[in-house]
Amino acid sequence: MILIAPSQRRELLRRTRTVAVVGASGNRLRPSYTVFSYLRRQAEFTVTPINPSLTDIDGITAYPSLRAYAAEHGPPDLVDVFRKPSDVAGVVEEAIAVHAPAIWFQYGVINDAAIALADGAAMDVVVDRCLKVEHARFVGGLSMAGLNSGVITSRRP
């Protein structure tokens, strides 16, 4: 089912404990690193990078594929996808093969065929949303309209 309502996404995150970040990067300037780093600091999640080019990110073991991760840990509760839209059909097929119940396509990761494939496999699907932003919003770090931290401002001190 494609999760459109904020309440549906909140419920998905409430029941999620393990997150596999496909396409996580060790480059601190990449959004996939920022999201991975944020999520691993959240007590409720165990976050694992999936990237065949890396052995670890900040000391966290990286796996070359979802299959390799699932062989050792079982299916992740959520697969967070940072890949080019043209590459995500394979990610969805692998997520289905390891019986992952949910998949999250980050901003700009839109592939209609892959989305339909995940939806047709009865996975919970989030499209064109940032997992970090949504989590922060649900735990009070962001409001529906944007940042609500009281720290970021355009005014000089």
pLDDT above 70: percentage of residues in the chain: 89
CATH number at residue 129: 3.40.50.720
Question: In total, how many domains does the chain have?
Answer: 1
Compute the average pLDDT of residues 135-155.
60
Q: Determine, yes or no, domain membership for 63.
A: yes
Sign, CA torsion 50/52/54/56: positive
Q: Determine, yes or no, domain membership for 89.
A: yes
pLDDT at site 21: 96
Q: Determine, yes or no, domain membership for 155.
A: no
Q: Determine, yes or no, domain membership for 156.
A: no
The number of beta carbons lying within 10 Å of the beta carbon of residue 5 is: 8
Q: Determine, yes or no, domain membership for 30.
A: yes
8 Å CB contact between 59 and 72: no
Helix axes 131-138, 6-15, angle to 10 degrees: 90
Residue range 100-132, pLDDT digits in tens: 999 999 999 999 999 999 999 999 999 999 999
For residue 88, what are the domain limits? 6-147
Compute the average pLDDT of residues 34-46.
92
Compute the average pLDDT of residues 18-29.
94
pLDDT at site 65: 96
In terms of DSSP bridges, do strands 124-127 and 102-105 run parallel, antiparallel, or are they unpaired? parallel
Q: Determine, yes or no, domain membership for 91.
A: yes
pLDDT above 90: percentage of residues in the chain: 82
Is residue 22 pLDDT above 80, yes or no? yes
Q: Determine, yes or no, domain membership for 157.
A: no
Higher local confidence (pLDDT), 109 or 153 = 109
Going by pLDDT thresholds of 50, 70 and 90, the confidence category of residue 147 is very low
- Supply the pTM of this predicted model: 0.86
Q: Determine, yes or no, domain membership for 135.
A: yes
Compute the average pLDDT of residues 86-105.
96
